[in-house]
Every structure is written in structure tokens, then in C-alpha cells.
A and B are shown apart, each in its own frame.
Chain A
């Protein structure tokens, strides 16, 4: 027992001495050590920065999904030969389903806008109902649509800032008349400039909004083919999806391919899996530089073994066991790699903080990325240090000392 304790304390002494000797060796060849460390440092920096930045993008996206109403789903309806879409009554039925807070039809048209002799074509017009504007802060000034506008197919519209700049220079547009496909509309509000929001990425931007009933009339359409269903909470999303599906199945006599339901969850899942694939791909590319860094360490250690042949021979002559020599060199390789790894982690976090700031995404320190960076560099040190350390430990002391 005492013997064992002595052995353990001896091994510990030997270990701490090896560490301090390695540090001495590393600082002795400052430039060479720095260049070797640089390889690992760049690799770890790249891995950490990429993983953290991608996870920042991913967090930002899922935050926007949550803010636009988790559990929301869009339903595209092609219908059957009898009815190729949804009627206003159908929409009301869906609105009345359990856990549904509201339904917004989406009707789109491409129109020509004109006022006072100025005109512009290829403008996108979206038809929405009054409920839509309770789900978003889309209007910066004026009013939104009310149920009467919808029921009466009122010729009122909301326009965005570009339209204001184009057609209402120096005039307050609210209450003014504007011509959409030669029909006179009254501007009742201005659409807020929300920037590049996720909502716009998903649903597309529109320049002008009008009551959906009005747009349908302009399109000579009587049926709605695309709706968004809002759910009271994300946990009811699946239940509502089933309810809506059951209703549409019965409406279209259980024929195949009459509608498609896309939930926000499924969009988010697709996005998430795309992002994690991207993260893995970029991380994989970055880790190639770690392997190159490892080769650098191996090269330096092999040089070091050759240079220190006499030292190794002497140490062996005065009683160092092969395993002790091997551990000394392994510790040196490990330390070199770890120094690079730790600096790389710090630089990687700093770099991703800057990148997240520039891209306007959420910056969170990813502990798994740090663990990965540190773990990877430790593994690289041991892996690529192994063979030079082995070479040192196998050195014949006689051959080594003959160089004296």
C-alpha cells in the first residue's frame, strides 16, 4: 500500500516536472512554437466561429417563428372538380373550429397603379381580411380594414412607403384617391417598414393591401385558394391540423391531393435541419485545418526529437524509462495543441460575436462548440504527438550518446 502511494506520488512528481520542462522547451523556441500553435489556433477559431454563428442564425430564425405565432399553418387548397377553392362560408367554418383564433385568406394580384398621370405596372397587391391586421403591426399610420370593408368589397387600400414616395410626393396620402387597374381606391393607411422580417421571407412582400373580397372581385374569382390558420397555442397545432384536414376531406369528398397544410413547425424543422447540415458541413471543412495543424505539430515534434537526441540519450542513461520519455514528448505536443486550442476558442468566440453583431442575429456562447474545440485540439495533440513521442522513447541511448 505504501509502495503504491509512493509510486503514485512519484508519477505525479514526474508529471509536473514534465509539464514544466515542456513549457521551458516551448518557450525556448518561441517562433517555431508560435507557428506550430498558429495552425491549431486557426482551425479552432474557424470551427468555433462557424458553429456559433450558424447557431446564432438558427436561434434568430426560431425566435421570429415564435414571434409570428407558433403553431400557425398555411393551407393551400386546389379543391376538386365541384369546388376549386374555399367559399366565405367555408372560411367561417374553419374559424369556428376548436383552438383556432382566426383565419386569413391570401389573395394576390399583379396590378398597375396610377395617380395624376404617373403610373407603374407589376405592383403586387395582397387581399387580406380584418383579422390579419390583429396578428401583425403592419400599419404605421391610418387605419386597417374593418369587417364592413370586407363585406362591402370596399375600395380602400393600404400602401407602403415606396408607393407613398412615388405617388404622393408632398401630399398626405391618407384619404386620397389612387387608381389600381383603373379602379379608384381610397388610401386609408400606410404599411409599416418592418425591414427584412421572417414573415416577409416566408410569405413574400406586398406593395399594396386591399380587402380580400375586393381583390377577388378584381380577379373575377369567387373562391379562396390560400389561407393562413392561426392557433391559440403551439401545443394545439397538431390537433388543429387534424381538424382542418378532416373538414377539408369531408368538403372535397375525401379525394386525394385537394389541399396541402404546411405548419410553421414543419417549415422551422426544415430550416433547422438545413442549418444544422450547413453547420456540420462548415465545421467539417474547418476541421480539415485542424488536421493540417496537427501535421504541423507532428513535424515540429519530429524535428525536436532529432535535435534533442543527445538529451534523450542522457536522460535514458541516468535512468529515465522509455515510458517516461514518451510522456514528456506527449505532454509537449498536448500542451502545444491545447495552447492553440484555448487561444482559438477565445478568438472564435470574439469573431462570432462580431459576426452575429454585423448580421444582427442572436449571439449565444455555445458550450458544446467550446468543448468540441478544446476536445478536438487535445485529441489532435495526442494523436499527432504519439508517433514522435514513440520515436523518442525507442531511441537507443548508445546511438544517442554517440552523438556527443
Chain B
């Protein structure tokens, strides 16, 4: 598949340090990662491995201390706050551990939220949000507020919200972390469907079983990446 060959995501020698007292703590020690369009990849690592930091950089919430990061043709390292926000709006769909719906708004309004900041007109917004809610299987719960939805349903709303801007990259941080096993499996099935539809997915997790749902798994330990070409071969202590 020639489509799969297009590298639209490239990280080269990404280093991230944080000041800790007088010293600089090195969190990421030179990350190299390339992702093709349409890939489904897991970043697997224990807590403290630097995977959250890596996720923030991938999601353009944070910038690397040094190194090069190119996402869909944009050199992220050169962008300011406003431009980063625009990249997030256009390129990245976030799915967090807790769905983080705004409690006062119904499912439809929650899904519309990214489109509001992108400046999309109300009619088109509602139309697109509804379409996404149908896609994640919440056709009957469009006007439900978060307190009327189960954890799995809230996570589906969050997925719809991430999809609604048609991002080039879906970025999920422990997407099943707060769910029971059955619901977690349903969300993983949904991810698989989305990937089959051509969505590129990066999933950050500490759970090997979850990571195995991806077609490709990279390990992050102590701020360094080690790649396994086949998810089945991954061993993780």
C-alpha cells in the first residue's frame, strides 16, 4: 500500500530536560521515531519512563528542548503558543484517560467544542458532531449530559470529540485506564475500526495487554525508545 509508505511524522534526537533545583533532569534522551500514515502504534512504558512527556511533545502541548519534530509538514520546534494551538486544532485528536467532558454541556456540545475554536459555523458544527457520535455508536445519547452517561459512553464521546476535526493523528493516553475489562475491550475494538478506516493512532499505555492491540509497539524505558517490529514479540518486565 503506497499510502502507508508516507512518513508524515518524524522525530529526530528529541531531548527534553526539566530544571530540578539547580540541576537539569533529562527526561527524554534522544528519541527517534517515524510513523507512516495509517499506522496504529503503542508507546509502552512504566510510569516515570518519560512516556507522558513524550505524549505532550507528540501532541504539541509541549516543545522539546532540542531535536527535530516534523508533523504533517510543520516543524513544531519553531512554533509559538498560538501556532501550536492551531496545529493541535488541525492535526491532533486527544483522547485522555478520563474523558474530560464539560459537565454542563450535552454530548453534542462537547463534541462540537473543538469546532468552536476552529471557527466552524453552528449548523455545520452540529452536523459534523452528530455524524461522529453516530460513528462511535451513541446515536441515541446525543443530548445526554455526562452524568447520564457511563464511563465507556463518556470515552466514546471523547473519541468522537477527537475525530470531529478530522485530525491526521489520534493521540490516546491510557484510553482504557479508567474502564472495566469489557468496556475497555469495546473501546479497543472501536480503535481497531478507526484504524481500519485509515486513521493514524498513537496510544500511550503502561499495560502490555492494551499495547498489544496496536500493530506496532515501541517501548520507552528511562527516556529511551526501543522498537519491536512485531507486537507479538514484545516482552516487558
Contact = CB atoms under 8 A, between A and B. Distances in A.
Q: Please indicate whether A and B come from the same complex rather than being unrelated chains.
A: yes
Interface in A320-359: 320-324
Nearest to B59: A317
Given A24-B104, A310-B100, A311-B102, A321 B86 contact: yes
B82 A319 contact: no
A395 to B, nearest CB: 11
Contacts of B59: 317
B122 interface: yes
B216 interface: no
Contact of B82 (A10, A317, A318, A322): A322
B72 interface: no
A14 B82 contact: no
A404 interface: yes
A17 B165 CA distance: 18
A17 B100 CA distance: 19
B119 A315 contact: no
A316 interface: yes
Contacts of A277: none
B121 A9 contact: yes
Sorting the interface of chain B by its residue count into under 10, 10 to 19, 20 to 34 or 35 or more gives 20 to 34
A152 interface: no
A319 B90 contact: yes
Nearest to B91: A319
A309 to B, nearest CB: 12
Contacts of A11: 119
A307 to B, nearest CB: 12
B75 interface: no
Interface string B108-141: 0000011011111110000000000000000000
A311 B119 CA distance: 19
B119 A14 contact: yes
Contacts of A318: 88-89, 94, 113-114, 117, 161-162
Contacts of A323: 82
A274 B122 CA distance: 57
B85 A404 contact: no
Interface string A360-404: 000000000000000000000000000000000000011001001
A398 B56 CA distance: 7
Contact of B119 (A7, A310, A314, A398): A7
A9 B119 CA distance: 7
B192 interface: no
Contacts of A319: 85-86, 88-90, 114, 117-118, 165
Interface string B68-107: 0000000000000110011011100010111010101100
A197 interface: no
Contact of B116 (A9, A14, A316): A14
Contacts of B149: none
A320 B56 CA distance: 16
Interface in B145-184: 161-162, 165
Contacts of A398: 56, 61-62
Interface in B43-74: 56, 59, 61-62
A10 B120 contact: yes
B185 to A, nearest CB: 23
Nearest to A24: B104
Most buried by A among B98, B100, B114: B100
Nearest to B81: A322
B62 A321 contact: no
A6 interface: yes
A10 to B, nearest CB: 2
A315 B117 contact: yes
A24 to B, nearest CB: 5
A331 to B, nearest CB: 13
Given A311-B102, A315-B113, A318-B113, A13 B161 contact: no
B7 to A, nearest CB: 24
B119 A10 contact: yes
8 contacts: A14-B119, A24-B104, A310-B100, A315-B113, A315-B117, A319-B117, A319-B165, A321-B85
Closest 5 CB pairs of A and B: A10-B119, A319-B89, A321-B85, A318-B114, A320-B117
Given A6-B119, A14-B116, A320-B85, 14 more contacts: A13-B121, A24-B104, A28-B104, A314-B100, A317-B61, A318-B88, A319-B86, A319-B88, A319-B165, A320-B89, A322-B81, A398-B62, A404-B97, A404-B98
